[in-house]
Structure formats: structure tokens, C-alpha cells
Amino acid sequence: MKTIDELLRQGVEGKRVFVRADLNVPQDGTTITDDGRIRAVLPTVKALTEAGAKVVVASHLGRPKGAPDPAFTLRFAASRLGELLGRPVAFAGDTIGSEAHSAVAGLESGQVAVLENLRFNAGETSKDDAERAEFAARLAALADVYVGDGFGAVHRGHASVYDLPRLLPSYAGYLIATEVGVLKKLTDDVRRPYVVVLGGAKVSDKLGVIDHLLEKADRILIGGGMAYTFLKAKGHEVGISLLQEDQVPACLDYLARAEKKGVEFVLPVDVLVSGEFPDLKTKAPANPTLVASHAIPADQEGLDIGPETRKLYASKLADAATVFWNGPMGVFEHPDYAEGTKAVAQALVDSPAFTVVGGGDSAAAVRTLGFDEDAFGHISTGGGASLEYLEGKTLPGLAALED
């Protein structure tokens, strides 16, 4: 995989460089609530502008249905990028139309333009190879060189991720190079003990990575909504907790395989429960009840791991040499259910291990709960991409850069 450093050595003065970024940031109306992914692309954009490139930044945001939708505009992300760069950033109101061509034509060396949401065009995500290729060709007309730096999208075979880099000289940006380097430390020559912490809502989202990590990890700690399917597999009552009944057989298989392989598989011993889901807007007190994980009342829902589980998980992380964490331990957005996720984050901060926070909600939780990002070994920008890499899958966006 050729990197941006090789491109910079060749010189980019006056060249139009298409940067496929990941500006898919959470927004509350016009306010960006977490700009981590925008900040992650800054090193690449700054290096290119300082070298005199005309930088064309493109990204997706959300899941519009192949047509313009004001709710998913990148206008606010473009504005934030300009604030972080400390320079004006042009914004094109379309992706391959007259505004895009005008914005790119108006760039001088060292300037930046952001195109409107790639997914406003059906060709970006089309399963039809010809439609996708046509859209990629129209994007290619806007640039001389391609730099892939949207790690959060490299597991998608989309036009701007997979087809476009095959049409232009292509390089990996600093973010992708960093992400791949970190993930290799979790798959090749891992320092042990290797502890994996998995949370989040659904077991089905993590099936592949659990299957793969049973061959590599020394311990797997389970929290979040997915824990209740494992608890059900062990024969426990889980009340109205999030449950994927169809995944109980898979959970039983994983528990049996872990025991056979000597992988320590750790489930919650106590949980905070309530008869209703908390109000995440008003953050009104939820008044949860603490119960043992094998004794959840039939009319109650588990919403966070309890204090004994927090101590247990901290102890299981204390001697780790490598830690990968993906998924919160509970509904961290509400203060009454944030302590489990906070305890895991603090255990990683306190650990001398190489710690990786695997993107998505875990990364958002770290920032929301006020932790210093520099206290972790690495915070990934791509939860889904990280998981698929750890599953051993070929990621289309990386494959295209390696061709």
C-alpha cells in the first residue's frame, strides 16, 4: 500500500487531490456533537495543503436514499473542518454537478473544498457495477490523485471507496496507515495477556469477531445489551432486556468453545435494571434497581453492568498487555447507566497495556464521559471496519489501495 508520504515526496503543488474522508459525524440539528472523525483527517489535509495541493474532500453522512436530503448535508461538517484548519473551506452543494466543478475549478494551491454528501447519488452505494463505475468516473474527473483516508468506510465496496481509487494514482492517508498499523498489533505478534471487551446492543453484530477472537484472545469480557443473550444461553431469566433469541445457540457454542480452548469468557455478575428505558433527552433520574445477573425480574430490563461486575472487569484488565474494546457496557448516554462504561474506560486508562478503543459508540463514550483521548493507545474512527478487519475479512477500501 503506497502512502501519502510517497505522494508528498513526488510533489503535489497545484495538483487536485481527492481525499475520501469520513466526516460521518453525529449531529443534533445543526450542531455537531462529536467532531472526532473530522479531527482525524486533519493531518492528511494539512500535509497536502502545506505542500500546495488543491484538496477536494468527499464523504458520506448517514443513510440518505440516493437523493439529496437536507437532514444529511455535509455543510456543517465542512464548516467545522474550516474552523479546525483555521482557513476558509469552500463547500459545493452537489457532488458531481456544476457546483462541484465550479468549487474545484476555483481552488488555488493550498486551498480546500468539500463536496456534498456522496450518498446523495445512487451510484455511490449501488450494487450495479456499471452504475457505480459511472459515478466513480465522474468523481475522477474532479481530481488528479486519490488519497483514501476514510477508515470508517473501507469495509464498504462503494464507488468512492473501491472503484475510484482504481481510476487514479492512489495512496493511503495518515489515518488509514495508522489504523492498519494498530490493527496489525491486534492480529500479528500480539503481546499477552490479550483481553477483549465487547459490548453494544446486539450479539449478531459481533458474531464474526467473537468467532475469530476465540482463536487469539486470552480473555473476553461481555457487557451491554449483547450480554443478556449470553445470560439467556446460560439459562438465566433476563426479563425484558434486549435479547436475540435466535442467537442463543451461537452463544452456547461460543461458551463451549471458549472453555475447550482455555479462553476466559466473562459475563456480568450484577446489573442495573428498570421497568422502563431512560429518557435520554431530559436525563431525568431513572432510579434503577441493582440485581444479580441471574435474578433479573421478568418485568425489568438490564441497562448497565453493576458495581461488582465493574470491579471484576477492572481486575481482568489489570494485568493485560493488549486490550481491544468495542461497545459500551450500558446506556452510557444517561448518567444513571454510565458507570459501567466509565469503569471500563478508567481501567484502560490505568492499564500499562497497549489499549485500543474500537470506534463507534465506544469512541463516542470516551469523549462524552470526559476522558483524555491521549490516555488510550489508540481510538479508532471505524467501529465496523475495525471489527471486520479483526474477523479476517478483506476490506474493499484497503484492497483497492493495495492494487
**Nearest alpha carbon to residue 356 among 194, 176, 223, 213:** 194
C-alpha separations of 310 from 128, 196, 221 in Å: 48, 15, 11
C-alpha separations of 94 from 21, 25, 73, 114, 342 in Å: 16, 19, 10, 10, 41
- 39 annotated as belonging to a binding site for a ligand: no
The three cell numbers locating residue 211: 468467532
DSSP assignment of 80-146? HHHHHHTS--EE-SSSSSHHHHHHHHT--TT-EEE---GGGSHHHH-S-HHHHHHHHHHHHTT-SEE
- 333 annotated as belonging to a binding site for a ligand: yes
Burial call 250-286: b when 16+ CB within 10 Å, e when fewer: bbeebeeebeeeebebbbbbbbbbbeeebeeeeeeeb
- 218 annotated as belonging to a binding site for a ligand: no
- Grid cell 450518498 is found at 119
- 119 annotated as belonging to a binding site for a ligand: yes
- 37 annotated as belonging to a binding site for a ligand: yes
C-alpha separations of 282 from 278, 279, 285 in Å: 9, 6, 9
Contact by Cβ (8 Å): 107, 132: no
Residues 6 or more apart whose CB falls under 8 angstroms from that of 86 comprise none
Query: Active-site residues: which are they?
Result: 37, 202, 360, 384
DSSP assignment of 175-231? HHHHHHHHHHHTTSS--SSEEEEE-SS-SGGGHHHHHHHTTT-SEEEE-STTHHHHH
Calpha distance 91→263 (Å, rounded): 51
- 63 annotated as belonging to a binding site for a ligand: yes
> Chain-centre distance of CA 332, in angstroms?
17
Residues that constitute the known binding site for substrate: 22-24, 37, 60-63, 119, 156
Residues that constitute the known binding site for ATP: 206, 302, 333, 359-362
Residues that constitute the known binding site: 22-24, 37, 60-63, 119, 156, 206, 302, 333, 359-362
